[in-house]
Structure 1
């Protein structure tokens, strides 16, 4: 790997497998990957088959961006298969669920 790239301030990498795992709800785990100085953050969310959030997931103070890496994600209204990108604006909400299980990449551009 290029040493100049690695020497750039703020350049960061982590393997998902090395990220700490925290259970949010039964069958739903989050792996925090990165947090920026302005509060932006990235994470991977893993949902087991048949799991769902027990309450609304409200996006505040900023938006949430989701990329469905594997499986099928449901936002409470429709299914989104792997390869789908979703942008949820600030103050929007949904009720995450997955019949078959899914892995999501989450990005929060604002803290």
Structure 2
């Protein structure tokens, strides 16, 4: 059994794990082995599949194509609040935001003094 598992493992370039190897044994050699037994034998032989991870690009586009068009024509304003450990910004889309910023600034001023 170990020889047969090793042949299938090398035939498919170590890409697949015990579940696929069990299927390939059945398809190629018409040998049915329980997947737990295949796993145990592969562990005895120290055969492991290569994990193929998807590559994700981490570079930032320099063309500016990531900025969406302002379809709603909203005026969005960023207000700086406080001067604590980190910078905090409040993004407002109307007058209610200005009121909130004024309230937050007065509360921060009250507790900072």
Q: Choose between structure 1 and 2: higher helix proportion.
A: 2
Higher relative contact order (CA 8 A, sep 6+): 1
Q: Choose between structure 1 and 2: higher strand proportion.
A: 1
User: Larger Cα Rg: Structure 1 or Structure 2?
Assistant: 2
Structure 1 length normalisation: TM-score? 0.17
